Structure 1
Amino acid sequence: MPLLSQDKINRLPERAREVVEYRKSGLSLNHIQGCSLGCSYCIRHTYGLWDENQPRALMSDAEAVEELVAHRYFQPHVTPIQLFNRATEPFLPKVRPHTFAVLENLDARELTNHVLVITRHKLTDDDADQLNQLRHLKVTLLFTYSGIDNPKIEPYPSHIAAESLKLMSAPEVRKYRTVLYWRPLVPGLNDTDEHLATAFELSKHADATVFTGLFYRGEIAEYYKANGIPEPYEGTARRKIVPETLERRVLDAFSSTTALFRKTSCAVSYAHGLPDYNGHVGIRELCDICPLSQLERCLNAHRVPSAEQVRDVARVLPEARELEVVDITGRAAVVSGLWEEQPRYFLQHALGFQVHDERHPHHANRHGRADIGWKGTPA
């Protein structure tokens, strides 16, 4: 793939130039940007990348991996990694070779970090063969599936992701894991009884299933209005929106399974037989749907840090010099003085324990989601 000139890179939006960025489920590598799938709710809206519908590279794969592993947030064997999760589809024909080049480079370093690869594209037996050549990384394929059939919202049909999930889950012996990434669930759009039943049947092919709602940010709302797409909610939110009644219906539809999770890291960790690397187990209402074996695994790994331990971990980060530990309970450490999200994710993964920002409290039973659609909040 041709490299962008430095002049063109300099003209990109600031966040698009940030090849390595920490997100909640991992340190995200995005040196290839641009996607042709056109999902209306794509996070690319918020990075100023929506109009880039063809992938292009900001640097070589080798340079990108070096930037990742040399990053101040990266911890060998600890930091979960996300590959091309905010700027392109990792299995587009032009992107696929770069996806495998990055995976093979990381694996050759004998790193055992989680690597999350989120896709909705058509995968093949050759992809399975290549993934099975990796010896060290803990790779998870998360197949984005919604069942939405409105081409203005989701032009690339969901059934392709469903077939890819089935194909990649079929081998009896495989080193990678598969997750049904059931999202975005939106009331009145893809939550009929038929939608829920179809997702339940599809979940039987995956190692785990995680369900979640819509990131409905201002930029996405503006795009919906400009393109005549029905607005799903009256307001926007910084967190994903999963109304209370929708969650209840999902749990009822999946009442006979034990591999359903509310959080991505929980599903990924379960699929690999490991405790949740985000330490959600302290928030026990999150875990009421977890398999007992996974709950025990997470509880055995659960360690409540002291305030001094939190500060010790934060000392390596210049952007955390104003950090203050407000409170620590068995649920989470509450901190202030972090003026962006990224150092908080670093702390969370380094400690294996929830770290919350005092400015954005987690309300009981919302599970870290938006308040929209919950009792006492707007519908």
Structure 2
Amino acid sequence: MAEIDFTRAKSVRRAPDDLPTSLRNYIDYRKSGLSLNHVVGCPLDCGYCVRHLFENFSMKRPHLIVDDEIAVQELVGHWAFRVGVTPIQIFNRATDPFLPGVKKHLFRTLEALDRRGLSNPVLVITRWRIEPSDVHRLEALKNLQLTILVTWSGIDDERVEPVSSAIAAESLEVLAKSASRVKKIFYWRPIISGLNDTVEHFESARQLSDLADATVFTGLFYREEIRAYFRDAGVPDLYAAVARRKILPRDTERRILAHFEDKPIFRKTSCGVAFAHGVPDFNGHFGISEICDICPEAQRKICSEHHYKPDLETVRELGRVVSLARVDDIEISDRRIEVSGSSEAQRYFMQHALNFQVHDRAQPHRLNRHGRAEVGWE
């Protein structure tokens, strides 16, 4: 695999004044919670990275937007933050948290949150190198419900992913040897039909899953910006169409599940995190029963005991909190709350407050698609 140039990535500079607004706003709400990204820039060059969507892919050196303590103060003072409830992601949008120079900011951020006595779920996603000393420092945290998600794809086409997947495998081994309080997820992604979905890839993934508390598998974000990047790199179109949601065709999923029939494997990130910690899913997927049909019985029991259909006025009040335009147009079924004219931040805040799925009518979730793109399911 290609060598990564870290000569400019071992230290973190202050971000330039002309940083795009999409990055200058370093706190935003996503499906796995409030996302904190006050360090931006990454040399890893994974071709499918969401940095393409944030005008940031060309920034190879990590940059600091604000000091860690300021970032934490802004996070816990955010209108959507709720003590002990709101899930948090750190450095998941514009850098890798374990890069040289970046991880000291990761540790400072985690420790600043932990000192406040917060027990919120915290997700940290990496494909880079984790050292035993890193795990020792993470294990010293006393309050946060911390999960490390180690991304592995097995892709060996350097035009798509120049970083060797062996690095992630080694990091998972380090976690398996020394992490106890900190939970570890084998984050198998992106799975791309025709590229890394062979029996050999499946067998490698199965072996690595033995090192983790849970396995989560998912497909490819294939937006126009990412397709254009791949075309410029000489990569044939990975799928016939781009899509707003992740692409994972029906047949690929079927083969994955057949290969992992006796393993704890999950379609959704929050489901794997919940299983690892023995707690209910903070995204409330239990109402969408076809998502949960592969979950271990013990986890389904935990989620079922904490799954309550909310009353309409409670939901409307949350709608008012997030300034939802049409609170009188809310409908509730046993599966989901349905709203209109909403943003992702509005829906996800309500979803986490209720542990119940919230969908927008303009972006329907098709039966058995599990919130994925239609590509490969038609």
Equivalent of 1:205 in 211, 220, 223: 211
Percent identity for Structure 1 against Structure 2:
50
1:254 and 2:257 correspond: no
Partners in 2 of 1:195 and 1:177 — Cα distance?
24
More displaced stretch, 328-337 vs 33-42: 328-337
What are the residue-to-residue correspondences of 1:53-64 with 2, within 5 Å? 53-64=60-71
Aligned partners of 2:41 and 2:293: how far apart in 1? 39
Q: C-alpha offsets along residues 40-66 of structure 1, whole Å, 9 cap, x if unaligned?
A: 000000001011011001110011111
Asked if the contact 2:316–2:330 (Cα under 8 Å) also holds between the matched residues in 1, the reply is no
Q: Which residue of 2 aligns with 1:89?
A: 96
Partner residue in 2 for 1:44: 51
Alpha-carbon separation, structure 1, partners of 2:92 and 2:127:
11
Correspondence for 1:268:
273
Report the equivalent of 2:373: 370
1:230 matched residue in structure 2: 236
Kindly indicate whether the alpha-carbon contact (under 8 Å) linking 1:324 and 1:335 is maintained by their aligned counterparts in 2.
Answer: no
Q: Structure 2: 5+ residue runs without aligned partners? A: 1-11
- AA partner of residue 313 (structure 1): L
**How much has 1:324 moved relative to structure 2?**
4.3
1:357 maps onto 2:360 in alignment: yes
Alpha-carbon distance in structure 2 between the residues aligned to 1:283 and 1:45: 31
Question: In the alignment, which residue of structure 2 is the partner of 1:316?
Answer: 321
Distance in structure 2 (CA, Å) of the matches to 1:307 and 1:357 = 16
Aligned partners of 2:285 and 2:123: how far apart in 1? 18
Amino acid at match of 1:364: L
Scaled by the length of structure 1, what TM-score is found?
0.95
Q: Output aligned runs, 1:112-261, within 5 Å.
A: 112-171=119-178, 174-257=180-263, 259-261=264-266
1:348 corresponds to 2:355: no
Partners of 1:14 and 1:34 lie apart in 2 by 14
RMSD between aligned alpha carbons?
Answer: 1.1
1:305 aligns with 2:310: yes
**In the TM superposition, what is the alpha-carbon distance from 1:321 to its structure 2 partner?**
4.1
Q: Which residue of 1 aligns with 2:14?
A: 3
Tell me the TM-score normalized by structure 2.
Answer: 0.95
What residue identity is the alignment partner of 1:209? T
Instruction: State the shift of 1:370 in Å.
Output: 0.5
Residue 324 and residue 214 in structure 1: after superposition, are their counterparts in 2 closer, same or farther (change >3 A)? Answer: farther
* Distance change (3 Å), C-alpha of 1:19 and 1:135: same
Q: Does 1:332 align with 2:343?
A: no
Distance in 1 (alpha carbons) for counterparts of 2:207 and 2:174: 15
2:9 maps to which residue?
A: none
Q: Which amino acid aligns with 1:346?
A: F
Q: Contact 2:320–2:327 (CA<8 Å) still a contact in 1?
A: no
- Deviations along 1:242-266, one digit per CA (max 9) or x if unpaired, are 1000000000000121x10000000
- Residue segments in structure 1 that go unaligned for 5+ positions in a row: none
Change (3 A) 1:57 1:213: same
Residue of structure 1 equivalent to 2:23: 16
Q: 1:327-370: CA deviations, max 9, x gaps?
A: 211110000131x2111110000011000011000000000100
Distance 1:235 1:199 in 2: 27
Instruction: Please name the residue that 2:6 is paired with.
Output: none
Give the aligned residue type for 1:212.
T
SS of equivalent residue, structure 2 residue 172: helix
Please say if residues 127 and 167 of structure 2, whose CA atoms lie closer than 8 Å, have aligned partners that are also in contact.
Answer: yes
